[in-house]
Amino acid sequence: MAPVGNPAAGVINGLHMDTLFFQQVLNGLIIGSLYSLVAIGLTMIFGVMKISNFAHGDYCMVGAYVALFITAWIPGWMGWVGSILAAAAVVGLLGIVTERLIFRPLLTRWTEIDTIMVSVGLFILLENLAQLFFGATPRMMPDPFGGATVRIGPVSTSLFRVFCFGFSIVIIAALQAFLNRSKMGVAIRATSQNRFAAQLMGIDINLVYLLTFFLGAALAGIGGVLYGTLFAVYPLMGGMPTLKAFVVTILGGLGSIRGAIFGAFILGIAEALGGNYIAMEYKDAIGFFIIILVLLIRPTGLFGEKEGA
């Protein structure tokens, strides 16, 4: 076996330790890319409408179920690509519907507790409707690469995982380009900075709300397809992405897209390393430990703006 890793660190088990470390960082980056897909939507919606949507992870769940049906219907590559498109469209529409029916009526008498609670109600509703219609059994989705693996440096991982990472990066880059270059994207950013000033500049903020919800939900839907393919599809799968996305966005500061991406990778890597070197049982609590610590020092997150901005 060819020597790999950092020879200077290798004492006896040095090589092995290095490989393990690299493996975990890689896993963290891959999971982090998934977290960022989900978290960006959450942070965009918060930025524009000041709504904390605790049902956001359920958009992932719906996306995963859409993909489950499409891939069962059309096999192979085509089905998987189709499922991504269908998930984005269906979940995006679901986002619009929830915005119109549930969140919009609350905007006029906005209180933080009301919007959070109504999203908790939506979370309970979607999760259990899914359980009613699809049953509680977890289902597996086919790997579009048929389980092929690749070697990256010292470690080998499944091709699909690497694809997940690359795909997420492409999607995030496309979103950034849209937000920075297009007129509508600038309108979203302007509304996020100051709703009233944006309105005064002639921006149709109702359209901005709809578009933000569509984009945010669609991203979560795509994230859900990746999540579902990597792990499994089941009605309660939305809870974890919701909490992780909140941890990530709070870490980065609610409303900040860059913060969300940064936070997602920090959380992904911290979980992978912490799960391996500290305690596997507490892997899902690591994020909470981190945010409690961060919030003790900076109550609006690492990159968050001051309240009322």
246 near other proteins (CB under 8 A): yes
Residue 308 DSSP symbol: T
Single out the segment in contact with other proteins by CB under 8 A; choices: 24-32, 33-41, 59-67, 105-113. 105-113
What is residue 4's three-state secondary structure? coil
Provide the minimum distance between the beta carbon of 93 and other proteins in the complex, in angstroms, as a whole number.
19
Among 76, 156, 288, 309, binds other proteins (CB under 8 A): 288
Size of the site for other proteins (CB under 8 A): 48
Asked whether the beta carbons of 115 and 103 are under 8 A apart, the reply is yes
Asked whether the beta carbons of 221 and 59 are under 8 A apart, the reply is yes
Burial (CB count <10 Å: 0-12, 13-18, 19+), residue 240: middle
In the complex with other proteins, the residue whose CB is nearer, 13 or 108, is 108
In the complex with other proteins, the residue whose CB is nearer, 73 or 282, is 282
What are the Cα distances from residue 261, in Å, to 220, 221, 250?
14, 17, 11
What are the Cα distances from residue 115, in Å, to 22, 28, 63, 103, 108?
42, 32, 23, 7, 11
Question: What distance in Å separates the CA atoms of residue 260 and residue 80, rounded to the nearest whole number?
Answer: 27
Among 6, 128, 149, 182, binds other proteins (CB under 8 A): 128
Residue span 143-182 as binding mask against other proteins, x where in contact by CB under 8 A, dash where not:
----------------------------------------
Provide the minimum distance between the beta carbon of 283 and other proteins in the complex, in angstroms, as a whole number.
9
Among 109, 151, 183, 306, binds other proteins (CB under 8 A): 109
Provide the minimum distance between the beta carbon of 250 and other proteins in the complex, in angstroms, as a whole number.
6
**Half-sphere exposure at residue 198, Cβ-oriented, CA atoms within 13 angstroms:** 22
> Given phi > 0 = left and psi -120 to 50 = alpha, else beta, which region is 150?
beta
Taking the CA atoms of 201, 207, 210 and 211 in sequence, report the sign of the dihedral they define.
negative
Asked whether the beta carbons of 199 and 3 are under 8 A apart, the reply is no
Among 45, 247, 266, 272, binds other proteins (CB under 8 A): 247
What separation, in Å, do the N-terminal and C-terminal C-alpha atoms of the chain show?
Answer: 57
In the complex with other proteins, the residue whose CB is nearer, 86 or 247, is 247
306 near other proteins (CB under 8 A): no
121 near other proteins (CB under 8 A): yes
Single out the segment in contact with other proteins by CB under 8 A; choices: 171-179, 188-196, 246-254, 269-277. 246-254
Residues lying near other proteins in the complex (CB under 8 A) are found at: 46, 52, 54, 102, 105-106, 109, 111-114, 116-118, 120-129, 131-132, 239, 243, 246-247, 250, 254, 279, 281-282, 284-285, 287-289, 291-292, 295-296, 299-301, 307
